[in-house]
Structure 1
């Protein structure tokens, strides 16, 4: 295990949850609510690494009253709610995760069309877009296992999104081949060096992780 580090990239990442998003009951103001992130739940990201978000990861960013939008399927052209307008509420629920509630505008037909899909159950899962300020990587003893990334602190939070599918977008063959080439180069460097080259090995692993995140974001349309 290494010490917590700051990622050397400002890549916007997206994570998806299989937790059901909810619409308000009949007769109540139209509201979409759900969990955007859940603490201490391990997920496999693109078959390249495992990831958990630790409690308190959103504490700092939420204390700064960030400008965050509620957007369907991360489509920033359609805004369902916004924190600075008071139409999106975010709550850091201790030891649970990040909860959101969007007050949908009943006079916005496009927004209401999306809201009706949530009511019907056609849209039922959540996601969020963010960058990372502090992370902790743990490399497995078995090289066949995936490394574990713990997100300790979120840097910026861009959106919370009710989404159609709760899974990370399928990575393309091109992305997989590029990541595999990076891993092979890292392995080659590790095999050629001794214990005195540990700082170089650590830097090589960091570069692989950074490039992997960039490729995954590109493949998901970010």
Structure 2
């Protein structure tokens, strides 16, 4: 498995909250939700996947545009965003500077109106489990995340509980790469098993 592959996933945020002036709360990741990734495989985030995840420095952006100044940041000190893990998933609570940042104000108002209705997060995987790899559409269960670098408010959530859109070409390309790598590892394991069987058979015949 390539632990260095940077991956993003998006969720429709039906439960977005603007709890006070400038504050936005919502889920960037949801547990036990089966999602079709680019038509290549299904993906499920297992409960407990964030237990040992590095969440020490996470930025909040819009549409993963990291070239722009972050709207909020979660870190050990002077944080403007908190991240909590509950029974549903990974929840963010961000305080936007709507008085001094015009973009933050525009984003806050768009979320409040419902124009921006999605959350997304960018991550690295520590541990995963593939099921039914030989089938046309296998399932990947994410058991442990290694690190979350960034969360985003997105205008077109590609991960509405069912599928990642083919319009998100980078995500789809990554999905294809991940599946090819997993199947290659499976083939290598089968090859090693056959070699071991032949070795045992040869040893028995010899003695």
Normalising TM by the smaller chain, what interval? 0.7 to 0.9
Q: Structure 1 residues 175 and 135 mapped into 2: Cα distance closer, same or farther (>3 Å)?
A: closer
Note if contact 2:3-2:126 (Cα within 8 Å) is conserved in structure 1: no
2:58 corresponds in structure 1 to 68
The number of residues matched between the two structures is 177
More strand by share: 2
- Taking only aligned residues, the RMSD between alpha carbons, in angstroms, comes to 2.9
Structure 1: unaligned runs, 5 residues or longer: 1-6, 199-222
SS state at 2:112 partner: helix
Q: Deviations over 1:62-119 (max 9, x none)?
A: 5xx510011111111231110123111101003x111111100121112111211111
1:15 corresponds in structure 2 to 9
| 1:79 is the counterpart of 2:70 | yes
Partners of 2:36 and 2:195 lie apart in 1 by: 30
Structure 2: unaligned runs, 5 residues or longer: 159-163, 197-207
Instruction: Name the larger-Rg structure.
Output: 2
Match of 1:57 among 49, 53, 56: 49
Q: Deviations over 1:110-161 (max 9, x none)?
A: 21112111112110111100000011111256x33x1111111110101111
Moved over 3 A (4+): none
TM-score by length of 1: 0.70
1:160 corresponds in structure 2 to 151
Partners of 2:195 and 2:154 lie apart in 1 by: 45
Q: Structure 1 residues 23 and 109 mapped into 2: Cα distance closer, same or farther (>3 Å)?
A: farther
TM-score by length of 2: 0.74
1:91 corresponds in structure 2 to 84
More helix by share: 1
SS state at 1:24 partner: strand
Q: Deviations over 1:33-85 (max 9, x none)?
A: 111111111101111111100111111125xx510011111111231110123
